[in-house]
Structure 1
Amino acid sequence: MRKNLISYSILIVLLIAISVAASYTYQLETKKRALKADVIELSDIKYGMFNVDAWEEQFANIITTKLQELELSGTQRDEARVKVTAFLNESIDKFERAYKAKNEKNNDFLGLSLKNIGADFFEIFSELKNQVPTITEDILDFLESDENRDGIKKYILEQINSYTEGTFQKLDYTAYNTILSKYKATTGNECINLISSKLETVKNKQSTSNIVLVIAFLSMLLSMFLRKETSKLKITIYIIAAIHLLALGVFLPMIDIDARIASMELQLMGEAISFQDQVLYYKSKSIMEVSSIMLSQGKTKVMLVGILVLLFSVIFPVSKLISSLLLVFKRSLQRNKLIKFLVFKSGKWSMADVMVVAIFMSYIGFTGIISSQLGQLENSVESLEILSTNKSELQNGFFFFMGFVIFSIFISQKIQKLVKTPLQSVESDTTK
């Protein structure tokens, strides 16, 4: 009697621990998903590689760097002088040819162009070329002035901005700015760092909660093996514990599909244009969310899949647990074929193996698609380096659901032992 009391007390304590830990895990998962959603939004490729403002910023940095590196002294000034002198002489020659060709069409006297004669007589173009060294030095002095460099930079950036505004559609930053305001951050990177820190804290807390759940369930399984005898109360406790696993399994995300570009670099004027951690695609759904989405599509085939997912992942398991309770407390139901099927035979219909294969197929397949497509883009553009990454990973919902499937199998065995004698007699009668 005393041993039974201790056994029951331990099971009740474990059940309370499971209830508290499961509730805490669900709350933490809700917070984690909200934080993840904000990080994913800020990291979305539409704000990076697909955003003209981000490219403008990169161009501005390159222009600023190049103008700051422009030091026209010593050897650099000599090289610049040669290039500027050659450019000015060539420009004067082009202008002279164009000027004379135009005037030759309008002959003023005896088929001759007085303007061309005057230009040659007064050596206008020769005099311009004589002034080239002086003009060259003035240009070099102009470029060395910090104030003039700032003016040049401002002019170039204004021209780039004018071009992009007339060519590309401006991006709506409402969601982006809302997230920045929410975390009181000034830049996207700063905000991502703040959220990542919070996310890490939540993950650590959830890991602790999950460890408590695992230890509690393993303890229950151990008690099943060590204690051969069973009772209605013990099985009831096991079923209530299994309900917690099932609830977590169907309401928590099973997999995060997260494909992104870890790094993209392109060389321009000797400087790198780079984008880091650009999210291409992200989805995180639970069984219930997937079923709800499929059922709301209005397409027959999609709705059929949604119904099957709901049937095998939710309705069958819940029916099995309810039937188990009914069978334990009402022995006469052991003759009911539906009850017997749900309690002892429906485990294989949980489709856990099919779900595992489907999840891993999507995981592996998505990795291949992303890597292949980005590889083609990288090969088609010179000096372009792209490093793609797939951060897809199984989530807690998958492991809790698998835990429920395994745990429910052991519960069925315990129930079978509890009603073993009546079942044998029923089978004997049926054989006869």
Structure 2
Amino acid sequence: MRKELISNIVLVVLLIAISISAFVTYSFENERRSKKADLIELSDIKYGMFNVDAWEEQFAEIITKKLKELKLSGDDRKEARTKIETFLYESIDKFEIAYKAENDRKANYGFSLRNLGADYFEIFGQLKEHVPVITEDILDFLEDEENRKNIKAYILKQINSYTEGTFAKINYTKYNHILANYNASNGEDCKATISKELMIINGIQNTTNTILLIAFIGIVLIILFNKKQSKFKNTIYILAAIHALVLGVFLPMIAIDARISSMDLQLMGESISFTDQVLYYKSKSIMEVSSVMLSQGKIKVLLVGILVVLFSVIFPISKLISSILYVYKPSLKNNKIIRFLVFKSGKWSMADVMVVAIFMAYIGFTGIISSQLGQLENSIQDLEILTTNKSELLNGFFFFMGFVILSIFISQSLQKATKINLSSHEN
């Protein structure tokens, strides 16, 4: 009797630990996702490599440095002319590449009318025809020492006159809103602040997840080694399984994260670089995936969504409800549906795992992403690109797996309790 009391007390403590930890994990996961979304937005490639403002900023730094080094006297004018023309030609080439890359990214069916028009009307070729005239104007302007201070604005004005009519301006509303939320003056400071806050949240989640793991293992061990199973114990088991199911269904299972970790090119002996450029990021839970599928309106996608909901939500909930009814409603113990869901459904437990298999297949896409990123690294000469695939399994996956495993042990516990009751009645 005393051992039974201690066992029950331990179970209650474990359930309380699970409830508190589950609440903390769920709460902080929502906060983590919000901050992660902000961090991803700030790192989006549209604000970096695909942003003409970012290129202009780096151009300005290079121009300023080169002007300080530039000396014009005698034969140096010829050398200066060559350097400036080279710079302008390269600038136009770089802008052409950026322009076409942006249009290709937005193109439908891999076809860009903007790029076709640019090639047909030889827009970039016409710009290059004006390079010698612009160069002479620059050299004449540079001969006056006082004007050197203004040359940066002059060159940038020529670039701006081109970019303003060529590139669509980036909408910084969301970007600036994030900066304001974190009281940051620029993107880098804001990303550093968010990263620190995410580290704190991850630390808390790691602690609560460790507590949850220990608690669930403790419950499984009690199921395995405690010979006497009671209504109270089985109720605790079922409540613990409900916690695991809720976390598994509502927390994100996987994050697909593809990004360019660094890009570096040399222009006039100076480096133009971009780091941590996010190409693609998605993080979804079972319920979010189901919601997206059910709202698509396409029959095939709708059927898959229904199957996901059926085997990841409806089937597990029905199994847990049937277990509760089996424990507290003796009159239903011989009900075929109840007995099937409680005992025979173990043979169908792969239906639960099927959802996990779908997500594991989804992970397979990370291999494709890695392959494509690898091709990107090797596809462009004279341009150093390092890519990274930060895709990972998230808490939802492990909690759902925990529910599947725990539900199997619960069925065994109820079956054990049934055999003990039958033996006692026979005696």
- TM-score, with structure 1 as normaliser: 0.79
1: CA distance, partners of 2:248 / 2:356: 13
Q: Quote the residue 1:44 is aligned against.
A: 44
Q: Unpaired segments of 5 or more residues in structure 2? A: 84-138
Q: Quote the residue 1:19 is aligned against.
A: 19
1:231: Cα distance to partner? Answer: 0.4
Q: Which moved more, 1:413-422 or 1:394-403?
A: 413-422
3-state SS of the aligned residue for 2:170? coil
Q: Quote the residue 2:419 is aligned against.
A: 420
Which 4+ stretches in 1 moved above 4 angstroms?
81-87, 139-144, 374-380, 421-424
Code of the aligned partner of 1:80? D
RMSD over aligned Cα atoms: 2.6
Q: Unpaired segments of 5 or more residues in structure 1? A: 88-138, 425-432
Q: Quote the residue 1:408 is aligned against.
A: 407
| Structure 2 CA distance for partners of 1:340 and 1:84, relative to 1, 3 Å | closer
Matched residue pairs, number?
369
Alignment pair present for 1:206 and 2:191? no
Q: Quote the residue 1:317 is aligned against.
A: 316
2: CA distance, partners of 1:232 / 1:85: 91
From 66, 76, 80, the counterpart of 2:76: 80
Alignment pair present for 1:363 and 2:350? no
2: CA distance, partners of 1:150 / 1:370: 47
1:176: Cα distance to partner? Answer: 0.4
Code of the aligned partner of 1:359? F
2: CA distance, partners of 1:184 / 1:206: 25
Q: Which moved more, 1:384-393 or 1:331-340?
A: 331-340
2: CA distance, partners of 1:178 / 1:332: 60
- How does 1:32-431 map onto structure 2 within 5 Å? 32-70=32-70, 80=76, 83=79, 145=145, 147-347=146-346, 348-369=348-369, 371-372=371-372, 374-420=373-419
Sequence identity percentage: 62
1:4: Cα distance to partner? Answer: 1.9
Q: Which moved more, 1:197-206 or 1:55-64?
A: 55-64
Code of the aligned partner of 1:38? D
1: CA distance, partners of 2:74 / 2:360: 64
1: CA distance, partners of 2:375 / 2:157: 34
Code of the aligned partner of 2:171? D
3-state SS of the aligned residue for 1:37? helix
- Aligned residues of 2:256 and 2:282 also touching (Cα < 8 A): yes
Q: Quote the residue 1:3 is aligned against.
A: 3
2: CA distance, partners of 1:371 / 1:273: 26
3-state SS of the aligned residue for 2:333? helix
2: CA distance, partners of 1:350 / 1:79: 81
1:218: Cα distance to partner? Answer: 1.2
1: CA distance, partners of 2:371 / 2:71: 43
- Aligned residues of 1:312 and 1:350 also touching (Cα < 8 A): no
- TM-score, with structure 2 as normaliser: 0.80
- Aligned residues of 2:255 and 2:394 also touching (Cα < 8 A): yes
2: CA distance, partners of 1:278 / 1:86: 34
1: CA distance, partners of 2:216 / 2:349: 23
Q: Which moved more, 1:334-343 or 1:173-182?
A: 334-343
1: CA distance, partners of 2:357 / 2:281: 20
3-state SS of the aligned residue for 2:213? helix
3-state SS of the aligned residue for 2:164? helix
2: CA distance, partners of 1:379 / 1:21: 46
1: CA distance, partners of 2:158 / 2:140: 23
| Structure 2 CA distance for partners of 1:175 and 1:329, relative to 1, 3 Å | same
